[in-house]
Amino acid sequence: MIRSYRFAMSASNSRRKFTLRARDWTLNLGERTLVMGILNATPDSFSDKGRYYAPQEAIDRAWQIAEEGADILDIGGESTRPGSQRISAEEELRRVMPILEALAAGRKYPIPISIDTSKLAVAKASLECGAAIINDITSLQKDPGIGSLAAGQDAALVLMHMRGEPSNMQTIAPSKDILADIDIWAKEAVARAQNSGVSSENIVLDPGIGFGKTAAQNLEILRNLDRLAAAGFPVLVGTSRKSFIGALLKKAAGELVLGTGATVAASIIYGAHIVRVHDVAAIRQVADVTDAIVNA
C-alpha cells in the first residue's frame, strides 16, 4: 500500500530582503544571515565572566571577532544578565571608550560597530568614535534622546523587547500571551523611533530572547519569528548561551555552543536576518549551512 504524506511547516523559506543603513555602511539583509559578534567589556557577564573586561584583551578579541567571520561587532559596557544593576554613564564610558578609540586608530576596522547601550551619553560618544549602530535593549524607553541621535547621525537602531528590567525581569509574573505582547511592543517601539525621525531603513527589531520570558516562551518566540517579521523590519535574534538552552541540555553557559547553534539554525529558518552570538567562528558555519538550505 502506498501512503501519501502531507507536511505542514510554518517556517519561512524566503526571508524578505532589506537594505539597512548604518551611517557609512549599507548592509544587505535576507540573502545571507549576518553574524553579530558579542564583546562584553564588563566584569560580571553571565557567559564569559569578565574575560574581556581589561581593555587590551577586549581590543584583541574585537579583531578576532572580525577575523572569525562576524559581520557586525557589538560592544557592551553594562551587563544585562538577570539580576544585574544599572551603572552610571561615566562608568560605562570608561569601559567601552578605550576599545572604540583603539579600533578607530591605525588600520581600519573591517566591519561596522554596534554599541549596546540605553544611555544617550554613551551612544553619542560611541558614534563620535566610529560606531554605526545603536543597540538599545529598552527600545528608547529609558533615554528617548537616543532616537533623535540615531536619526541625526543616520545610525542603525536595534529595538529590543524586554519585560521589566535586568534587575527583576526573571522574577516578575510571566506574560499570559507573549506573542501578543511582542506584537504590541513592535508597533509602539517603531512608532517611538519614527516619531524621533528614524527612517524605516535604519530600524531592526529584536524579540529579546530571555529578557523576561520563560523557557517555553523563548521556544514559542523562535517558532513564530515570522510573526514579528510581518511587522516589516529586519529581525535580530540573540539566543547565545542563554539559560533556557542550558536548562534543556543541563549544561553551563560555556558548554552551549552546539545548543546555541541549534537555536541559530531555527532562527534563520523562521526568518531571522541577524544573529547575535559569542562563538563567532562556530556559528558562522551554522549560519552559512542553514542559509544554503533556506535559499535552496
Distance between CA 20 and CA 16 in Å, rounded?
12
* Cβ atoms 147, 141 nearer than 8 A: no
Of the residues 61, 119, 241, 242, only one is catalytic, namely: 242
Reply yes or no on whether 276 is catalytic: yes
- Core vs surface per residue 201-236: b (16+ CB within 10 A) or e: ebbbbbbbbbbbbeeebbbebbebbbbbbeeebbbb
Distance between CA 193 and CA 202 in Å, rounded?
10
* Cβ atoms 123, 149 nearer than 8 A: yes
* Cβ atoms 21, 154 nearer than 8 A: yes
Of the residues 61, 124, 213, 276, only one is catalytic, namely: 276
User: Distances from the Cα of 94 to the Cαs of 100, 163, 181, in angstroms?
Assistant: 11, 28, 36
Reply yes or no on whether 6 is catalytic: no
* Cβ atoms 234, 273 nearer than 8 A: yes
- The packing angle between helices 89-104 and 55-67, to 10°, is 50
Distance between CA 11 and CA 184 in Å, rounded?
22
Q: What is the DSSP string of 244-296?
A: HHHHHHT--GGG-HHHHHHHHHHHHHTT-SEEEES-HHHHHHHHHHHHHHHH-
3-state percent helix, strand, coil for the chain, nearest multiple of 5: 40, 15, 45
In the structure grid, which three cell numbers stand for residue 74, read together?
Answer: 557589538
Catalytic residue list: 242, 276
